[in-house]
């Protein structure tokens, strides 16, 4: 059973190797696919805003815990 699986895998590997040939269908199709990448500066701004919000929330949680302790002691 394992030998049959290995024999069947040979064709799959051969097909994968053919993908990198310059005349493969994959190469010809991918040459026509256009990919629009987003403006990466937007992501850095979002990351910075997220970090600020996380810091504010962490600080607020710490302040609430201290406030709660001062009322219970």
pLDDT tens-place string over residues 19-70: 666 677 777 777 777 777 667 777 788 888 999 999 999 888 887 666 666 6
Copy the structure tokens of residue 1. 């059973």
Cβ neighbourhood burial of 28 (10 Å; 0-12, 13-18, 19+): exposed
What's the domain count of the chain? 2
pLDDT of residue 73: 58
Going 62 to 65 to 71 to 73, the CA torsion angle's sign is negative
Per DSSP (E only), the strands in 8-65 are none
Pair (24, 9) in one structural domain = yes
29-to-19, 20, 32, 34, 36 alpha-carbon distances in Å? 11, 12, 6, 10, 17
Both 27 and 45 in one domain: the answer is no
Domain that holds residue 14: 1-34
Q: Are residues 40 and 73 in the same domain?
A: yes
User: Which comes out higher in pLDDT, residue 1 or 54?
Assistant: 54
């Amino acid at each position: 059973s394992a030998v049959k699986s290995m024999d069947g895998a040979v064709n799959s590997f051969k097909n994968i190797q053919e993908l990198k040939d310059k005349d493969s269908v994959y190469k010809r199709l991918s040459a026509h696919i256009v990919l629009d990448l987003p403006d990466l500066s937007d992501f850095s701004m979002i990351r910075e805003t997220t970090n600020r919000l996380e810091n504010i929330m962490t600080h607020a949680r710490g302040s609430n815990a201290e406030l709660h302790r001062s009322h219970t002691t």
